Structure 1
């Protein structure tokens, strides 16, 4: 069922000009155009890393449902406080910029998801050396920016979230579109989150200063859906099982993922990039957004 619906919604995506990476960039080999199904094995899965044995994706493939796309259809699951959901990632050390073109829809066809907090996006997370047996609360540290339906099911929205020691702070804004390019840049302890809708231009969505995050992070793609059902369970239960009796409503497509190193202008060296009073949005957009690969 999901495969047919996913093909339908992905075929409606307008072609976006994709960025071209610097051939000398040491992160280029981690990028994925999703045109080769064999690259699926190059992506790590958080449920495998942390040995939960609970694959919360009902459907997951590269270049199978739709050529040139990674498609994910999640079961009911969520990221909030101590709740851990789906993360498909690669480990990145040091500064980076990660960019993807994302499209979301409800399971029944085109349109916004109808279950609350059903979104897909880019995520960065501090690795945890835990198993279900050694897991303790208070250990989640991450940032993400996602597109889908958040607190208003049936409407397209953006959700941005920062979580420090499992204390989550989120903000929801209108998106008005099923598709967007999303980008996250790390420069030292500064994290810049950007977005671009098909008819719009790149803009700075949020900035964070996170001195707690280590040099090596999990960087990748997340999907989550149906918070109402997932949150009925306590985090240790939700994190380690597949919920098959919920109301998940999300089909997510990722057109590509590009990794590259940021080229910070000399004039911004030593400045606090997370402080708009010190570095303006316009200054950030000189080397991020469409200029991230220059």
Structure 2
């Protein structure tokens, strides 16, 4: 009896350490673009969404997240102070997609009491990010590679904008252009090594090509999904320290940014006749070169915007 009690006591003392050492659950499998969609008509996120801070151990910089509660039939996100720029990270909900994709979303970035988010750099939209395997524990600088298109306000308060941004090894290059506020439709399309950012006002109408990116990237997998971020006037300007800022959660700094997503939908873009991602390894060099020498017509920087949109489809 005494031995049994001692064994049970030893097991009870050991169990927390065993549980702590258990490996994390594997991430959901990549999804096809056709299976990417979510109408957000329930009361919770579906299990195939991953949340960046949960997956990689960063602080939760979401003040609020709900489905169908704050806004009927929509995903509702409220970010704390943060940003997606250079090495900085912020809220990101994503699914891993393999190969070419055409992902679209109907979104709105607003303030608590008005149609335009308060402050500056309050934006939300679609991002496609290359996974780099880093977590909070093994993080190192100059490893971020992603592209996005967002709606909200940028450097000038009260002025609705579309922002597009490309980041290469944590060097960010952005464009801000005026665009009507309220609900808008955003779109990210990847075809081989060409990636396009498009937008249109709510209610349909023609798509506008807002940016085009070319990255000679052999990894077929990208994390595609929704981002939202804002800055607070309570946080004074200071030299950027990503290692510190990414690990800092300021819940007291005032923010006024509410990001809503009515739906996201996915499909495969039209083929350009080059199956870049499914080439055998022995043919990888030729497929890479085909992207460089113009066999993928969408990599031509002189292709008129109207022709890009025609080839990508409505």
Into which bin does the TM-score normalised by the smaller protein fall?
A: 0.7 to 0.9
Distance 1:286-1:254 versus aligned 2 partners, 3 A rule: same
Match of 2:262, SS state, is strand
Instruction: Considering fraction of residues, name the structure with more helix.
Output: 2
> 1:24-62, CA deviations, whole angstroms, 9 ceiling, x for partnerless residues?
x9533321011022434331011112112x111111111
Question: Per-residue deviation at 1:236?
Answer: 1.5
The question of 1:271 aligning with 2:278 is answered: no
Indicate how the Cα distance of structure 1 residues 38 and 226 shifts in structure 2: closer, same or farther if over 3 A, else same.
closer
- The count of residues paired between Structure 1 and Structure 2 equals 263
CA distance in 1, matches of 2:80, 2:199: 26
Say if 2:232 and 2:254, in contact at 8 Å, map to a contact too: no
Q: CA–CA distance in 2 between the matches of 1:231 and 1:212?
A: 35
Give the equivalent residue in structure 2 for 1:34: 40
In structure 2, the partner of 1:256 is 263
Instruction: Indicate which of 78, 91, 114 corresponds to 1:110.
Output: 114
Question: Match for residue 246 of structure 2?
Answer: 239
Secondary structure of 1:37's counterpart equals coil
Alignment of 1:167 with 2:192, yes or no, is no
Q: Tell me how far 1:213 sits from its aligned partner.
A: 6.1
User: How do residues 110-149 of structure 1 correspond to structure 2 at under 5 angstroms?
Assistant: 110-149=114-153
Tell me, yes or no, if the aligned pair for 1:75 and 1:248 is still in contact at 8 Å: yes
Q: Select 2:307's aligned residue among 268, 283, 286.
A: 283
Of 217, 229, 249, 1:224 maps to: 229
Is 1:185 the counterpart of 2:189? The answer is yes
Q: Where does the alignment leave 5 or more consecutive residues of structure 1 unmatched?
A: 1-24
Deviation at 1:153, TM superposition (A): 1.1
Query: Hey, what's the Cα distance between the residues in 1 that align with 2:217 and 2:151?
Result: 26
2:226 and 2:116 mapped to 1: Cα distance?
19
Q: TM-score, normalised on structure 1?
A: 0.83
Three-state SS of the structure 1 residue aligned to 2:307 is helix
Write the distance in 2 (CA, Å) between the matches of 1:117 and 1:215: 31
The equivalent of 1:57 in structure 2 is 62
Counterpart of 2:249 in 1: which secondary structure?
coil
Other-structure match for 1:203: 208
- The CA distance in 2 between the partners of 1:125 and 1:30, in whole Å, is 15
Per the TM alignment, residue 179 of structure 1 is displaced from its structure 2 partner at its CA by: 2.1
- Tell me the secondary structure at the aligned position of residue 195 of structure 1: strand
SS of residue matched to 2:45: helix
CA shift at 1:142, angstroms?
0.5
Q: Is residue 156–residue 175 contact of structure 1 (8 Å, CA) maintained in 2?
A: yes
Q: Separation in 2 of the partners of 1:98 and 1:51? A: 27
Relative contact order higher in (CA < 8 Å, ≥ 6 apart): 1
Q: Partners in 2 of 1:188 and 1:281 — Cα distance?
A: 18
The answer on whether the counterparts of 1:148 and 1:156 sit within 8 Å (CA) in structure 2 is: yes
Q: Distance in 1 between matches of 2:84 and 2:145?
A: 11
Q: Give the structure 2 partner of residue 48 of structure 1.
A: 54
